[in-house]
A and B are shown apart, each in its own frame.
Chain A
Amino acid sequence: MTTTIIFTIVCLSLLGLGLALILYFTAQKFKVEEDPRIDDVEAILPGANCGGCGFAGCRAFAEGCVKAESLDTMYCPVGGNDVMKNVAVYLGRTIAEKAPQVAVVKCNGNCDSRPKTSNYDGYPSCAVMSTLYSGDTGCRYGCLGQGDCELSCKFDALKMDPRTGLPEIDADKCTACGACIKACPKILIEFRNKGPKGKRIFVSCMNKDKGGIARKSCSVACIGCTKCQKVCAYDAITISSNLAYIDYNKCKLCRKCVVECPTNAIWEVNFPVRVPKKEVLTAEEQ
């Protein structure tokens, strides 16, 4: 009995040792030489594997950084400037600082301002819905409200608000990885500079129909009236296909356009509360 046990143990140990040796020598023989810096750069990165940098994951990005001649085109949106600076210092290169960005939703037609014209009872997915028809409201550019963007967000920064039926972005959690931009079939989400102290102004509408048609389907649609363009002293606002767009690089955050907009389609974020006249607007953005 004992001899059988001893025999078994010895046999298995020898077998294990033999196989370990084979494995060891094979590993030595076929070892892939990798730049050790890749591991170090990967350690600096946040490890979210979100793909926001355009690479397949953090390791691929680290490899890209090490191999690339300059870091100008490389940017990790999750880690931001701090992480990129660390990477640049470690690799002995320089990098220009980038303004931090955040995703914004360019539709503010909620249940009251943009009434439903039909009931959709298919599979709750914006992608499926957009293949079937233009949407369950009068506006064919607006948010479909099925929450494909919420599913795509890996940072818990984007939530569908059941009250408005629109996605709400938590600017603190948003890393500007771009997953929601790809998920939205109506292309309603855009990156914008976070702005000083998080202050930013943008047109929260994508309706390209003529004013009358846009207004009919949604009371807070941009109607392309050009009032904001006329009041802007910095030439930051352009209007094409009946839709205003504010260039965040030129905008000096003077807020004149916000007051001027007849449909409240222009939003200001993180500004101090203004004179009581504008209370309606600030209530909406919260």
Chain B
Amino acid sequence: MSKTFSIGGIHPSDNKISVKAAIENFPLMEMAYISLSQHLGAPAEPVVAKGDKVKTGQLIAKANGFISANVHSSVSGTVSSIELLPDLAGNPVQHIVIKVEGDDWLENINRSSEIEREIKLSGPEILVKIAECGIVGLGGAAFPTHIKLSPPPGKKAEYLIINGAECEPYLTSDYRIMLEQPEEILIGAKIMMKALNVNKCFLGIEDNKPKAIKKMKGLCSKSYPQIKVVSLLKKYPQGGEKQLIDAIVKRQVPSMGLPIDTGVVVQNVGTALAVYEAVQKNKPLFEGIVTVTGKCMTEQRNFRMRVGTTFESMIFAVGGFPKDAEKLISGGPMMGKAVSRIDASSVKSTSALLLLTEKETKRGEEGNCIRCAKCVEACPMGLEPFLLNRLSRAGKIEELEANMVQDCIECGSCIYTCPANIPLLDTIRLSKAQVLKILRSRPKK
């Protein structure tokens, strides 16, 4: 029997049309545009200068501040400039531009595909290694992993949950790595368990991926008894951190709280694989699995892609721009970000490039709210989106706070179900930002 979270949720068609495409290496680009803000927190500080020769995997920018992450070169070549370039939303971000010359990896990276099962490092050493290798959460938010794995004083982790739900439609990158590198993921999970000093771990996988569940269950029962594979109901947003904790260990993350408040740390399967590669193979995070998909495309592929590849080259690698493509999304259709410039480049947490046609993406004309309460039913956080929308348009900040707008996880379930095409998420996201700003400026008790 599959588990699921207790309230809300929607059932969008999963459209995982690229499931059968095995992961292939993306051809090496000519120029790499490596962003220095690939993670949540302060941008990294460059440690190379124009004209320097760099090798694949070499540190090119180091973490700047507590919440920040190292950035490594994804290619070998010459640094041609360090400049402000637009990211996918058009906002200027410092980039290191590298002209690619061959593919010369650092010698200390173990490139063999042999699985290293023995964990040699101790807990604190693992954390240092993860921080050094610039690992960030690959579920979407790109929060530096070493911080997430060191609970604040006074809080203790009981469980580690590995998130293999991949509830977003279209995405298949997590599914492919679970099929192709399952043992690496489980070793990655074990490494994180050692770092957190916990001895119970769950791996949650949605039940629309029976092959992955079967494979993982077989491996766990054979050689990883501390890891338990949990089958989850196919329902969006099953892979949300708070929803996953609710579904698997039946605990509720308090309002404005973190998962660690319930004694749980959640990490994505992609992060687990990156941790394995960092700790066992000494390989920093400079490539990731990216699904390039869309119904308008002739082929759908899963690529292992270096960080700093432009979206333009991804589209050309799969046969060029389809005529009817209207919208490009980096990530899944529910929570992904629209790509406003194709000359922008991928970052560590880029999981997919999705092309949608006008028919699939065009918003309908906004009508009046008929109080059908579909949005209330769909909200996985138990909020009342129609009410928040009304309050937001009237600018009633205090009432928005009283109605917990700050708990919104921006999953988009409300706007998906609304029969009147009301831009609920747009207005709620705006007031959430306003309320959070006020809450953060308030003195702490």
Contacts and interface: CB of A to CB of B under 8 A. Distances in A.
Given A121-B362, A134-B86, A128 B429 contact: yes
Nearest to A140: B90
Contacts of B92: 140
A125 to B, nearest CB: 7
A10 to B, nearest CB: 47
B91 A140 contact: yes
B426 interface: yes
Chain A interface, DSSP helix/strand/loop, else mixed? loop
A122 B363 CA distance: 8
Contact of A132 (B338, B362, B427): B338
Nearest to B423: A123
Nearest to A121: B363
B362 A118 contact: no
B363 A132 contact: no
Contacts of B341: 117
Given A131-B429, A131-B430, A122 B423 contact: yes
A135 interface: yes
Contact of B89 (A125, A127, A133): A133
**Which of A118, A122, A133, A134 has the most chain B CB atoms inside 10 A of its CB?**
A133
The winner among B90, B341, B423 for most chain A CB atoms within 10 A is B90
A141 to B, nearest CB: 11
Contacts of A134: 86, 89-91, 340
A117 B89 CA distance: 12
B433 interface: yes
Interface in A89-142: 117-118, 121-123, 125, 127-128, 131-136, 140
Nearest to A122: B426
Interface string A237-248: 000000000000
Interface string A140-157: 100000000000000000
Contact of A133 (B90, B363, B426, B433): B90
Contacts of A140: 86, 90-92
Interface in B325-354: 337-338, 340-341
Nearest to B84: A209
Among B341, B429, B430, the one with the most A-chain Cβ atoms within 10 Å of its Cβ is B430
Contacts of B362: 121
Interface in A210-247: none
A127 B429 CA distance: 11
Contacts of A123: 423, 426-427
B340 A127 contact: no
Contacts of A136: 340
Interface in B3-19: none
Interface string B392-428: 0000000000000000000000000000000100110
Contacts of B340: 117-118, 133-134, 136
Interface in B71-97: 86, 89-92
A128 B427 contact: yes
B433 A131 contact: yes
Nearest to B366: A123
A132 B423 contact: no
A125 B428 CA distance: 13
Contacts of B337: 132
Interface string B288-329: 000000000000000000000000000000000000000000
A125 B430 contact: yes
Contact of B430 (A117, A118, A127): A127
B91 A128 contact: no
Nearest to A133: B89
Contacts of B338: 118, 132-133
Nearest to B358: A119
Nearest to A129: B426
A22 to B, nearest CB: 34
A15 to B, nearest CB: 38
A223 B211 CA distance: 58
A128 B90 contact: no
A121 B338 CA distance: 12
A125 B430 CA distance: 10
A127 B392 CA distance: 12
Contacts of B427: 123, 125, 128
Contacts of B423: 122-123, 128
A227 to B, nearest CB: 25
A133 B429 contact: no
A122 B415 CA distance: 11
Contacts of A122: 363, 423, 426
Contacts of B89: 132-134
Interface of A: 117-118, 121-123, 125, 127-128, 131-136, 140
Given A123-B423, A123-B426, A132-B337, 20 more contacts: A117-B341, A118-B338, A118-B340, A121-B362, A121-B363, A122-B363, A122-B423, A123-B427, A125-B430, A128-B423, A128-B426, A128-B427, A128-B429, A131-B433, A132-B338, A133-B340, A134-B89, A134-B91, A134-B340, A140-B91
27 contacts: A117-B340, A117-B341, A121-B362, A121-B363, A122-B363, A122-B423, A122-B426, A123-B423, A123-B426, A123-B427, A125-B426, A125-B427, A127-B430, A128-B429, A128-B430, A131-B429, A131-B433, A132-B338, A133-B90, A133-B338, A133-B340, A134-B86, A134-B340, A135-B90, A136-B340, A140-B90, A140-B91
- Give the 9 A-B CB pairs with smallest separation, nearest first: A134-B90, A123-B426, A133-B89, A123-B423, A128-B426, A133-B340, A118-B340, A121-B363, A128-B430
